[in-house]
Structure 1
């Protein structure tokens, strides 16, 4: 192994103080299954160029110039997991990254997911973690526990880059198979800085979509015991999964005047294989009550059904083990706009950028329209029994 690879890997481990404390660096190197330089990335969906950069050991990087896509995964950089992985194995990836040109108005890159998963349909992953590289080279992590045996060459580590217009530099990447017995509390995770406050916007015209969503939010808040803080953008709705088709449609009968139409073409092996999501940027503290309200309409339920089925919706940890914070199930009647809800209490602190809203849609072939997603942090001490729900307390 090249000396610079060893030195750079040691630097990555030193950045992960918990890993460094857990084992000697030499022992950690025994778990390494991949060490690759910055010119080894495979890029698709965006221009990728190998460049010289003295800022990282080895002197080579891959620069990806990404455009915002319909989905964050429309542009990716990836590398193959080179060995077979057994069920229960803990996989840790450490990669070097920096942002050359951040999204407009931001200081960091927007990477909603860097994941380990199948490199062919249904592209399921067992590890995912967001990151927000700044302009200085840093080490970022993804880790997870393999949910099944995976043969050699069947897995990829991939970084989603199409969440925004941005230019991201990727350096060396290291991968470790820690086996099944590692203490998960010792695994490093990314620390995402809170987003800077947005500049004050000009007042919206009364007929604008922004004003319409604000009015809907105000109406929702009249049904809640406290006002709460909106922690997502109601218009940011993304679909995911191998059997999903997404289009934007006009919807003059709801506020905002538009909706996302999400077609589940066939039932997946699991309900969570396909769905819809909305990113959450804010931190959530232990004891906070989180409430989600989603406007939905079934246009084509499953054959023989009168309503679309939503096996689960709510707010979760964005990466494995996908811990639920607020969760529920719901149905959506055919041809009728309906509000569906989820609520719950956070049992631990969650850093900004580590959670998200998700709705499982892979349980059956159906078509569902989503008008808007509102996620509110109501703070501590709110009785969830007094919140709107899907079982008799509508909005």
Structure 2
């Protein structure tokens, strides 16, 4: 749970412009209350073993990795570039309802291994998508380093969704590479 508290603090810490000053006495929440708030915002199972890979003959594998949060990662080797890069990837579904207008943050750990000519790894598209008919709510592409790093994207829910009606999706087929995905957090910050 210590990891959840640290992640919660990193995602919710106020940012003050260089010319502004922080309030003199800002109450600091206890670890227990920060953990409870984070658990309330979390709307998916963040563990790497809960990711659902799809779309290729070489099966991805969940590997032990003590250098990433929760100690496991999903390794996805991509042996060739695909014109439709969304045909190889992984998803994680929501487990709680989402209301229209809720601000959703998708935060995830990733790194690239075995890229071509030392190029950065490519997450062709990370998106929050509606299902079962796939429709993008918001999306972003990422260049990924060989070291573990947390990345994030955010947007607003365009309508209300029942549990399981949204996925965070990772489309990976745009480069020959091996991508490691660590924990993925879908967080609901409300309106």
TM (norm. structure 1) is 0.40
* Structure in which a larger fraction of residues adopt helix: 2
Residue 117 (structure 2) pairs with residue 327 (structure 1): no
* Alpha carbons of structure 1 residues 345 and 299: separation in structure 2 relative to 1, 3 Å: same
Matched position secondary structure for 2:69: coil
Cα offsets for 1:76-131 (capped at 9, x unmatched):
xxxxxxxxxxxxxxxxxxxxxxxxxxxxxxxxxxxxxxxxxxxxxxxxxxxxxxxx
Cα offsets for 1:266-318 (capped at 9, x unmatched):
222311010111121112111111100110011112x1242111121021102
User: How many Å separate the matches in 1 of 2:152 and 2:11?
Assistant: 13
* Alpha carbons of structure 1 residues 304 and 254: separation in structure 2 relative to 1, 3 Å: same
Whether the aligned pair in 2 keeps the contact of 1:243 and 1:274 (CA below 8 Å) is: no
Residue 105 (structure 2) pairs with residue 291 (structure 1): yes
Matched position secondary structure for 1:248: strand
User: How many Å separate the matches in 1 of 2:81 and 2:154?
Assistant: 26
Match of 1:257 among 68, 71, 89: 71
Whether the aligned pair in 2 keeps the contact of 1:290 and 1:326 (CA below 8 Å) is: no
* Alpha carbons of structure 1 residues 255 and 241: separation in structure 2 relative to 1, 3 Å: same
Q: CA deviation at 1:260?
A: 1.2
Matched position secondary structure for 1:283: coil
Whether the aligned pair in 2 keeps the contact of 1:328 and 1:343 (CA below 8 Å) is: no
Q: CA deviation at 1:330?
A: 0.5
Q: CA deviation at 1:250?
A: 2.0
Residue 10 (structure 2) pairs with residue 220 (structure 1): yes
Q: Name the count of aligned residue pairs.
A: 167
Runs of 4+ with >6 A deviation: none
Whether the aligned pair in 1 keeps the contact of 2:45 and 2:95 (CA below 8 Å) is: no
Map of 1:238 onto structure 2? 52
Map of 1:281 onto structure 2? 95
Map of 2:32 onto structure 1? none
Larger Rg: 1
Unaligned runs of 5+ in 2: 16-36
Whether the aligned pair in 1 keeps the contact of 2:79 and 2:176 (CA below 8 Å) is: yes
Matches within 5 A, 1:300-379: 300-301=114-115, 303-320=116-133, 322-334=134-146, 336-379=147-190
